[in-house]
Structure 1
């Protein structure tokens, strides 16, 4: 019989794409607005140089003296990146346009300042912004030539610092080094998010109608957060600093515990106040996230469904090359390597007589290991696969992820303490990279569920933050030298890690190999009652039931497509820049509109077909691969089993401006229409109606 739990572990099969003609966008002889939009879309599709020109001009104007304070160049460059993600623009040319525009804008500003010097203050538009000009001069006086690089990312200052650099006589070679480097980083920082946003809309297998809305909401939220941060930086910072100063003045007159905590976190005269505040926020955030994940795991909330989908999705992406890399990464994060790092750091601290630091270091690793073991054996959660046995069969939380974030996180704190900002960033990013790679390797290799790793990272972050707060308050005179200790850790990783990888890699590749389950069910059992064991509704990432899964089809993809093609069904146009833009027009023919994918536990459909009913309606059939194959009674090979749904989509044209597709709640009519079409082409099909459930079986 069919095991319903396997439905969360479906692996996509081999999907054949059926060719369909592309007839180009249809023309409309009515609405004048639509004809203009059609012409505009066609023009930019065939003349991408116009978009590249816009990217160049936006980057140039944003860097131009004073004018850049009001030009939304960053937003236009982001749109350029989005067009790259939609495959409408060449990435190299787009990057070149953004970088060259930014370099040219700063160069013009530098030349104006170098040529006119102080006379520039009396010219428009500089004379209209004296306060901004004074801020720029103060910033340049403080930071020198590197302010040309830094100001590129500092809102209004980016439009005045190059001018001031020219007025101050900054040598041209030095200016152009900072100018070019900052332009490259700035362009990447704006093009990359746009690219990923555009790519998320381009990939039909990665979005659904609901997820597309979610992507737009996330993008809008990120833009709002960036705007709020910029606003606070420009407008609210003086007010916030005033509130802080009044709070510190109030706490300075008192000796109670709240006053001491307030002073330790907010007193600007205390060197460690910013570090304590950051640690306090990480402690609160990490603890809140851990207990939230723990609650979801204990109550079997939707996060558990996400676990299964993340596991199944990552297993479909595995390759021999990826397995080699991820097994090596997980070996570098294994117990022998981590214990060796702990031992080496302990010996170094003992040799330097940093006894209190040594105590905190051993407490960090020891308590983390004890807590992870206690949680594992208390909860007893099974792993995705039976990779481990004996003393470590349980999954929650991930020991690899927890120990690596505690060891390398607390080590990064010790190394970065009292160091310059650049050194702190380098140390933090290095530790974060190691921790992230090890955590991802556990997910990729199927050793843990997503919630296991998320819980471990949040728990480890909270523990490191708590230790950091205690350390900052009680250990004041022991200094850790970053370079020698980093060298010790690097040599330990190279020697012990290299030995572990060389010694165990071949065996670990076998242990972590993926073995997909592909259960066989006899056709008689499936047609009898076995079909009832498959999922009855499509389930979204939040765990909510959506449309009924009313189609079960046993057959290879080529056969399914052939039957439907003969019955007048065809594959809809694929998602691309042109087909996406067609949704912006109110009267595009329905057969030219791509179908919005839908997700079942995060997995997009493997095959999609449609049949046009009239100018505003079509039936859409979406099929997902299941983990079963149906075994026929004869000598034929087993046939893959697909499950899916047939729905009617009706087009809407709000205010005559765009096109929207609404899924109708009548699921019986499209199913019966599909059943009739299949029966006319292939006799082995039947409708099953039991306990209020209607399912079409095809074999």
Structure 2
């Protein structure tokens, strides 16, 4: 065991803000540490943000709410005092409205001519209309109404609202407004304290998925917003060109894009999608066949996503890929077919079946013609080929053509909602194939472009040949939704466990003789829990060679026990400030994205406990004839101290004293078995148990 495992990292880093524990990321620790040293600056920022947001006109451009939210987050992270933060937010909001009120009271109608108020006449008109309708209570209500919050107090002063009445509404609204922004920030900050125990790998995955979905929604909305005004012009220019010619291309253009046809714009869009998708597919195919740079991108994307894999991420992505699997897609095809037959939409039914059938035939033809190997042998003997992705292709064809049928001749809002819904489903399924390592990036990109080209071609043909069959969007959507819920739920429930094993990431496992491990080999294991970016967290101070049942038996005899499991009840107990420490579940922590495999705890007093977290290492220890090889576990013993910020919830903060809990653990283990020894490594103590 001379080579270090892939978990090996640098020595632990304890940045600023260390007394907050290691429950947040290093860059956030530095920010918290700065505000712990300079809380006046943070409180001043909260006060100024609340004041400026309520100030006449200026409040329309100052993001005061966001800054107050950040203040609440810092309270949740225990970097700011909750009482003083609330005072700063409330007093700033009251002061801002008061300044605006007295400006209006002093200058009356002359204020309209002052800078910067004179640049916003329409805003004054809206504010006066709102104040005329609601009277004094508009001071309270406008605090929560965007641009009006910065102008209604001015209007109240101009209108002669009595000062006592104004201040009643002003103070009440400031209290509610501050609570509405500080409380979510506080909960978010507290959740960061909890989530900081988890690797940022999961956070990066969530950000990637959320970002991809946001990008899909943005692209759909952007294309609709930007392309729609131009489509008419493109169509008119194409028709003007064709009207001066009598060749075949001109006749095709006139037949498709004649402005007299209500669907000429839709035909133009689908034609552009058709040519663009074909161009993209052929480009990807050329790169794959010639081993161009796109293949290098494939490997980088594959490696990056495999480093992001976690047990939780695997479970979610396997469920998504199951919802896009053949049984579910075939059931959706069948359900839609039955509905179309019942409605006697025979032509539409024919297009629907041709769409799915030809797409599947094309995918299999390309797979066995090109014979490209998958990144990993997931489907050996069943479907060993990778290009293109059947999941991605079938989902974009089925849900893409379905979205076309549902959105045809519907209002613009329905079209956008339908397109976005289909795009979200397709994007999630496609991403799941990349995440699980079932396909290369180019496989999925080619499948999406090929499927989109086929949907566009079918749509053009459908618009030209099927004009009298109308598809009712709501009932067909309900049929599809019920089919997805019933069949998808059954598939996930029936096959999820087996699919998790099939798609599991399988790192290598090495064997090391017990003597080598006890002598120097233990130094080759990771020295600390490591996050995605390579940042070291708590030191790994325990290495234990033995089956899980033996480890648990030794610890239970020494007074340790397995903490309560995470469920709805134990999660709610964290919201109570006086929950006994034995009843609180232990928060998971991740090393390279993986949660600990075993967890034990021992209470020291009402507010402190020792927690032992152990991860399976990539090694097994060979006893050299003295029994079967033993799995080698690696982990850490830490002291967790309960804190109750503002007496509202419970937080468990990890102490930086890692030696005391380790020596307590060593003492307990030695009392049950003698094979436990402490070793020194770079100023840290490591406990070896076998």
TM-score when scaled to structure 2?
0.49
